[in-house]
């Protein structure tokens, strides 16, 4: 048996974009155990949500995370709408899919870029982020801002996307698909990339079920789960299947996210071929009473909001369970037995968002 050492990894580390700390128990160069330590950037937003009123809370939850801000607002609004029995107009449901998928696209591109950077492919990283700019432009053109777009309201959406903008989005999507095809072979066929990703950090289907994995991480291990299949917003009227890979290694996780980019582009095209005319929101009066659970599939996986209302303008409780929080136990599992040199890449493959985890 080699010498055992405990090494703190993070919260500030050159390869980590997020402030997560892992206490790594090492035996020579092998990781025996990894214990996560979070709490460095905890902001107490759940407590804040109890003090703000119903509409102000939309802005609070949008700031849980910049990357998936729209989806947080969507989950919250859907929950409140269900509690109050509000019927959202059809056009608003389709528009929610548009912004939701744009968020997924830019999140996955960001992650692909970070992955390329982690294994030392700087030009590939730049290419991914340049492609992401195309999506950010769409966000700016349709909502006026690039990151926190604030288009959700209780009862629908705040902005419409007219036919001119739809054409602009479709042209940009064509461009994006073309660019994606160019970088695809670098990710899938390159010898160095395969060397770094294939058979690294394998999480079997059984293990993934044991640690309650969600999102692309679960789908890469062969679990067929995607909350969009439950049909929230307008997903029940669109034609798609969850993207599942069975290998469970880092390469499979990359493949799932890469293929999901194409899926999002396809979903957006479907939306624009079907989107109905009509109003984009309904006025909502009164306050909700009761409790509800609202769930949405974010780029990183399932997010769960538990909302408890009491008939006033304030909520009794707003509990936010984000996908990264759910995937950290899986990270603890895949780090066991890994080499120290693989640790940064393995942390990255769960697509960690500590901002989400420490809301």
Minimum separation from the CB atom of position 137 to another protein (A): 34
Minimum separation from the CB atom of position 230 to another protein (A): 5
Q: Applying CB under 8 A, does 326 fall inside the site for another protein?
A: yes
Minimum separation from the CB atom of position 273 to another protein (A): 26
Are 161 and 142 contacting, i.e. CB atoms less than 8 angstroms apart? yes
CB closer to another protein, 39 vs 279: 39
301-310/315-321 β-pairing:
antiparallel
Burial pattern 42-80, b for ≥16 Cβ within 10 A else e, equals eeebbebbeebebeebbebbbbbbebbbbbbbbbbbbbb
CB closer to another protein, 102 vs 320: 320
The one among 6, 7, 35, 126 contacting another protein by CB under 8 A: 35
Minimum separation from the CB atom of position 50 to another protein (A): 9
Gap between the Cα atoms of 284 and 289, Å rounded: 14
Minimum separation from the CB atom of position 210 to another protein (A): 6
CB closer to another protein, 81 vs 358: 358
Q: Applying CB under 8 A, does 126 fall inside the site for another protein?
A: no
Query: DSSP per residue over 222-257, as a string?
Result: T----GGGG-TTTGGGS-------SS-SHHHHHHHH
CB closer to another protein, 186 vs 332: 332
Q: How many residues bind another protein (CB under 8 A)?
A: 34
CB closer to another protein, 197 vs 318: 318
A 10 A CB-CB count for 28 gives: 12
Q: Where are the beta strands (DSSP E) in the chain?
A: 4-9, 21-27, 30-37, 152-153, 156-157, 289-298, 301-310, 315-321
Minimum separation from the CB atom of position 63 to another protein (A): 18
A 10 A CB-CB count for 237 gives: 15
User: What part of residues 197-216 is at the interface with another protein (CB under 8 A)?
Assistant: 209-212
Q: Applying CB under 8 A, does 30 fall inside the site for another protein?
A: no
The one among 27, 90, 177, 291 contacting another protein by CB under 8 A: 291
CB closer to another protein, 227 vs 350: 227
User: What part of residues 219-248 is at the interface with another protein (CB under 8 A)?
Assistant: 227, 229-230
Minimum separation from the CB atom of position 119 to another protein (A): 28
Minimum separation from the CB atom of position 122 to another protein (A): 34
Gap between the Cα atoms of 72 and 238, Å rounded: 22
The one among 20, 24, 31, 38 contacting another protein by CB under 8 A: 38
- The site map against another protein for 44-73 (x = CB under 8 A) is x-xx--------------------------
Q: Helices marked H in 35-121 — which ranges? A: 45-51, 56-62, 69-84, 90-118
Burial pattern 311-350, b for ≥16 Cβ within 10 A else e, equals eeebbeebebbbbbbbbbebbebbbeebeeebbbbbbbbb
Are 357 and 328 contacting, i.e. CB atoms less than 8 angstroms apart? yes
Degrees to nearest 5, angle at CA 196 with 192 and 197: 115
Q: Which stretch binds another protein (CB under 8 A): 112-120, 124-132, 275-283, 302-310?
A: 302-310
Structure token pair of residue 239: 């034609």
Inter-CA distances, 5 with 15, 27, 344, Å: 21, 7, 18
Question: Where do contacts with another protein occur on this chain (CB under 8 A)?
Answer: 35-36, 38-39, 42, 44, 46-47, 83, 209-212, 227, 229-230, 290-293, 295, 302, 304, 306, 308, 316-317, 319, 321, 325-326, 328-329, 358
């Amino acid at each position: 048996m080699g010498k055992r050492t405990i090494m703190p990894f993070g919260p500030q580390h050159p390869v980590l974009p997020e402030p997560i700390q892992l206490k790594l128990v090492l035996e020579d160069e092998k990781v025996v155990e990894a214990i996560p330590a979070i709490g460095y950037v905890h902001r107490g937003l759940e407590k804040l949500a109890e003090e703000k009123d119903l509409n102000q809370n939309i802005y609070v939850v949008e700031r849980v995370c910049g990357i998936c801000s729209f989806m947080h607002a969507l989950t919250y609004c859907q929950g409140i709408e269900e509690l109050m029995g509000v019927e959202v107009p059809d056009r608003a449901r389709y528009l929610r899919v548009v912004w939701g998928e744009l968020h997924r696209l830019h999140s996955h591109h960001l992650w692909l870029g970070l992955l390329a950077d982690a294994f030392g492919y700087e030009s590939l990283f730049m290419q991914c982020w340049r492609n992401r700019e195309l999506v950010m432009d769409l966000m700016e053109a349709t909502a006026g801002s690039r990151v926190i777009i604030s288009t959700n309201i209780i009862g629908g959406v705040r902005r419409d996307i007219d036919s001119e903008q739809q054409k602009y989005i479709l042209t940009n999507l064509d461009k994006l698909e073309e660019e994606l095809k160019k970088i695809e072979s670098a990710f899938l066929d390159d010898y160095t990339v395969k060397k770094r990703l294939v058979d690294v950090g394998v999480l079997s289907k059984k293990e993934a079920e044991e640690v309650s994995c969600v999102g692309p991480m679960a789908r890469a291990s062969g679990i067929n789960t995607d909350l969009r299949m439950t049909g929230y917003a307008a997903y029940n009227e669109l034609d798609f299947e969850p993207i599942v890979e069975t290998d469970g290694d880092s390469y499979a996780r990359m493949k799932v996210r890469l293929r999901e980019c194409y899926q999002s582009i396809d979903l957006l095209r479907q939306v624009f071929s079907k989107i109905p005319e009509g109003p984009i929101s309904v006025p909502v009066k009164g306050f909700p009473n009761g409790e509800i659970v609202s769930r949405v599939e974010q780029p990183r996986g399932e997010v769960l909001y538990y909302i408890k209302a009491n008939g006033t303008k304030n909520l009794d409780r707003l509990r936010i369970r984000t996908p990264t929080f759910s995937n950290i136990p899986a990270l603890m599992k895949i780090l066991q037995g890994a080499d120290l040199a693989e640790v940064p890449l393995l942390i990255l493959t769960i697509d960690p968002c500590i901002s989400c985890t420490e809301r």
